[in-house]
Amino acid sequence: MSGGRGLATRLLSSPRRRRRLRLSAVLLALAGVLAFVGLKYSNTAEREPEHFSKGPVQRVSAPLKAQKLSNIDLESVHRIAELFIDTAVLRTSVDDSWEITTPKLRQGLTRKEWDSGNIPVTPFPAGAVQQIKYTLDWSGQDLVYLKVAILPKDAANVAGQAFDIGLARDAHSGPDGWLVDYWVPTGLGSPSPAQRTAAAKSAVAAPPASESLPQGLILIPVGVLILLVVGLPLGLFGRNYARSRRALREYRRHSA
């Protein structure tokens, strides 16, 4: 223990060592402050104010219960979905789709405005259609969702596309009446052969793109900063400690 206290006394006896230790302590403290600030205030977005009402608690409605459709309902759903795609999506006869859509889907458009073709329904070119596939996604007592895939012709210059279509039971159209209530694209399919051929020709004709900067290089400045703030003080302290240990061994060897 006396040897350890003597070593500490000799380390602190040098003004230069004391200055280096103070510098190391300051740099380590600065690194700790920077780390704390970075973790504490990494999210600079303004916090949205919270508003609480004194009214009654609003309860979330229970999730819809799935239910298997009858064969009659399934036939009616597919018939209405096919008619909607033929008229509204392919834009072959937009007016015929008015009566099989809900006011929610029409979004306040009058029938005259709907007939103009400028409707909130994502279209697909009729001349490019090769095949349309339907898959039942979910069904309940009064609501049905289908997955729709429109496949293009080989010569078409468009890719296939997937859609979600929702149909709601319409009480005014009888027990088997359904109206289209929802139509949203969900993604593109694989390109048609014509598109792949055009893309291959463009890739051959286009000049090679410049290589992007490797993501690993972005971490170099961060690593250099950490090395300067943490590694440099530790390196200086380790070097001084090694010198002191070596000097102590030389002193003991000559004193023996």
Q: Per-domain residue ranges for the chain?
A: 71-197
Per-residue model confidence (pLDDT) at position 176: 72
Sheet holding 161-169, edge to edge: 129-139, 143-152, 161-169, 178-188
Q: What is the pLDDT of residue 170?
A: 93
Give the residue from 112, 104, 90 showing the smallest Cα distance to 143. 104
Dist CA 130 CA 150 (whole Å):
8
Q: Is 132 left (phi over 0), alpha (psi -120 to 50) or beta?
A: beta
The tens-digit pLDDT sequence of the chain (256 residues) is: 555 556 566 666 677 777 777 777 777 777 777 777 666 666 666 667 776 667 676 666 667 789 999 999 999 999 999 999 999 999 999 999 999 999 999 999 999 999 999 999 999 999 999 999 999 999 999 999 999 999 999 999 999 999 999 999 998 877 679 999 999 999 887 777 777 777 777 766 555 555 555 656 666 766 667 766 666 677 766 777 777 777 777 767 777 6
CATH fold of 71-197 reads: Nuclear Transport Factor 2; Chain: A, (3.10.450)
Give the number of C-alpha atoms closer than 13 A to the C-alpha of residue 170, restricted to the C-beta side.
18
Taking Cα atoms as reference points, which of 127, 97, 102 lies closest to residue 115? 97
The pLDDT, as a whole number, for residue 37 is 65
Q: How far apart are CA 121 and CA 139, in angstroms?
A: 22
Of the candidates 132, 134, 137, the one whose C-alpha atom is nearest the C-alpha of residue 90 is 132
Rounded to the nearest angstrom, the gap between the alpha carbon of residue 166 and the centroid of all alpha carbons in its chain is 25
**What string of DSSP letters covers 13-36?**
HSHHHHHHHHHHHHHHHHHHHHHH
Phi-psi region of 174 (alpha: psi -120 to 50; beta: other; left: phi over 0): left
- CA atoms within 13 Å, Cβ hemisphere of 28: 12
